[in-house]
A and B are shown apart, each in its own frame.
Chain A
Amino acid sequence: MTALPQFADDIEALPEGAWVDGRHASAASTAIADFVVIGSGASGAVAAATLTAAGHDVVILEEGPWIRTRTMQPSLAHGMRTLFRGGGAQVTFGRSNLILMQGSNVGGTTTVNSAIALRASDELLETWDRDHRLAGTLGPRALEPHFEALEKALKVRPVAAAVLGEQNRLFGEAARRLGVVAEPVPRFESGCVGSAGCLTGCREGKKLGMGVTFIPDALRAGARLYSSARVERIVSHEGRATGVVARFKSGAAPTLTVLARKGVVVCASAVQTPNLLRRSSVRSPALGQYFQVHPGVSIGGRFDRPIRQEFGATQGFNSMHFAKSHRFKLESVSLQPELMAMNIAGAGHTLTRHLENFDHLMAWAVALRGEANGSVKGFLGGDQVFYTPTRLDMERIRTGLKVLTQMMFEVGALEVWPGVHGMPASLRSADELHRWDDASVDPRAYNLIATHLFGAARIGPEPKGSVIGLDFQAHELERLWVLDSSLFPSNLGTNPQLTIMAIARLGAQQISSDAKGRLR
């Protein structure tokens, strides 16, 4: 007797022939569709599902593999290798190297993040509208119905108390004692069991990432998915995008040519989209410019009682208390021992002794709405980011780390490890908080990470200063639309995926409506 499908991404739950695994492709092939959607993450999955639901024939191309729920593994090494771009070892170039984290799999970063679903603030959307003359395209009123629909579809709700876990509960407790406003994180999940394993994909199938929601939905509605297929360039004819040429990531690496009757929708991320456009002969001066991130860094602490990071929501509590005054967000985070090791100074038996008492360790993080602008270029055969935080950015990060240190001592940390060059390896009490005032603000003193990526193909009314028009179409190439965070005029200050999805849904509906009318 055949077992019933348990997960939405089980093969048995998908229409036959809807998915082609490019890792096994041996011969060149061709496909025809109304739309080609490049990318299957927060924007690509939503765009594909929206276009398919509207009756269009859609082909989805994803560079990464489909690591389905049933084949996910708890090992961080395995997760990094199979679910993250560059094995999780991408870095930015600049005054210092930031680790650049991007999912590369069916579902994109939604497979490996903490499922945090926060809206961009109305204030920010209004600022975009005013400063970039967007004529209401991405205004609060335009996005409101899409936020609502997505929150409903993805069952967004604050972390339940039963799966909060001690590291999240203590964050809330510390914030309350110090008068810092903090709240449980809203996430998309259906029955999280608190396995703290978001980073390597939810093996319980409870996190509602794109690989178990909008992608299977789109496939059941008639879309076709090619995974492990990297798009080399977008093909155009007489100023219109007409298809793409991709290459399967198999031993033989055959090509896949997809002809798009109505057009090409690019959702490849703020790093990959600009270079794909460049490879496709888009020559806008703004292409690759105005790239922004949320640089972040974590801090570790040791306690005299068990914290047990392996239980609880991966990220269960956050604080926007300092968002307006200092542009940073504070958050709790569960780290695996492999990552926690980076928060502990030293090496050898000193390090492994601490790891042996992993149950007593905890990490919290600060994420900054950085003011620095970087750029994205094709370099060394890959997509390269050039980015250096400003001095003010670093001063704010330093302030955030000082607040987190105070919070950790407030709830009983025996010691806190700053992890900043020039600072003591360990702080033993709140009496040492003043040490932060003299800490370096050189980005090279910090182990910074960038997980939220924006810009580099900005939206705007004119080709001067922007790449994408207010109809989401490239200024230079008709029927080439961009719907991912590369079109954002700036970073957000909050976790971006819900806003990315909302803009993708809005844009896809607009494209669909245009396709049924103006486009022939």
Chain B
Amino acid sequence: MIRPLHASRLEQAWTRSVFETLFPTCAGVDLERFLREHLAAMPAASGLGLRAAVAVVTVSPVFLLRRPALFSHLIATDRLRVLDAFATSDVYVFRSFFTLLKAIGAMACAADARKGGR
């Protein structure tokens, strides 16, 4: 079975900025390990979809905010504006990117979001 390649350090950093925006509780999570383990388990199409979603969100401020900056360089409120644009987009593939990032991000970061953890 085809497996996606390991995420590079740059991709890991981009993913962290997206996940921490979705779930501010994500700061202490060992995301490198999480991504390594999950990309190894995911089907090729889903793994590549996740990496594509991270890449597209990362460069999207250029188009969405008309600003020559990567997502990870934005302030928190602008990051949320970008993610909201994906979440509510009329283009299915962009909404799917948001859903995929939120689903995988939730697995990494949402378990302890409730008061006192689980």
Contacts and interface: CB of A to CB of B under 8 A. Distances in A.
Given A80-B107, A89-B104, A337-B110, A347 B115 contact: no
B51 to A, nearest CB: 12
A338 B22 CA distance: 12
B42 A382 contact: no
B42 A347 contact: no
Interface residues of B, number: 40
Given A338-B111, A348-B76, A89 B46 contact: yes
Interface string B33-59: 010011001111111001000000000
B6 interface: no
Interface string A322-365: 00000000000000111111100111110110011111000000
Contacts of A310: 118
A382 B44 contact: yes
Contact of B38 (A81, A345, A348, A444): A81
Interface in B65-118: 76, 80, 83-84, 87-88, 92, 95-96, 99, 102-104, 106-108, 110-111, 113-115, 118
A510 to B, nearest CB: 34
Interface residues of A, number: 40
B92 A337 contact: no
Given A77-B107, A91-B45, A339-B106, A351 B23 contact: yes
A86 B84 contact: no
A336 B42 CA distance: 21
Nearest to B104: A89
Nearest to A84: B41
Given A356-B114, A381-B1, A77 B38 contact: yes
Contacts of A236: none
B17 interface: no
26 contacts: A76-B107, A77-B111, A86-B41, A86-B46, A89-B104, A90-B43, A90-B46, A96-B92, A97-B96, A337-B114, A339-B106, A340-B110, A346-B87, A347-B87, A348-B83, A349-B24, A352-B23, A355-B114, A356-B114, A356-B115, A358-B113, A358-B114, A380-B43, A380-B44, A382-B44, A421-B88
Question: Which 6 A-B residue pairings sit nearest by Cβ, starting from the closest?
Answer: A87-B41, A355-B113, A358-B114, A381-B2, A89-B46, A341-B106
